[in-house]
Structure 1
Amino acid sequence: MPAKSKAQQKAAGMALAAKRGEMKVSDLQGAAKDMYDSMSEEELRDFAETKHDNKPEHVDN
């Protein structure tokens, strides 16, 4: 499932970095923290690898 916004893609990238041990989990906030807790590394990778051309900065849920 691809990310729907640049913000969602960025949060997934941060959560993925934390899952891989590239950054501290304690540095995560908001959506990135929620994604870290609820998504697998594979799901996070799918979100983070989404092309960001023509993506809005934010999307209302």
Structure 2
Amino acid sequence: MPAKSKAQQKAAGAALAAKRGEIKTSELKGASKSMAKSMTEEELHDMASTKRKGKPEHVPEAH
């Protein structure tokens, strides 16, 4: 699934690095921490490798 914002893509990248052992899981915060727990390495890779062009920094939450 592609990332919907740059922030989501960055969080996925951090979570992917933790899954691969490049950074400690304890260093993760917020969305990246929950992504690391709930998503597979393949899902994180797909989200982190999304093209950035045209993506907003953040996507507003739907209420």
- Please tell me the TM-score bracket, short chain as reference: over 0.9
2:29 is aligned to 29
Question: For residue 16 of structure 2, what is the aligned residue in structure 1?
Answer: 16
Per the TM alignment, residue 60 of structure 1 is displaced from its structure 2 partner at its CA by 1.6
Matches within 5 A, 1:35-54: 35-54=35-54
The structure having more radius of gyration, on CA atoms, is 2
How many residues align structurally? 61
The normalised TM-score by structure 2 is 0.94
| Percent sequence identity over aligned pairs | 70
Q: Structure 2: any 5+ residue segments left out of the alignment?
A: none
| TM-score for both structures, normalised by structure 1 | 0.97
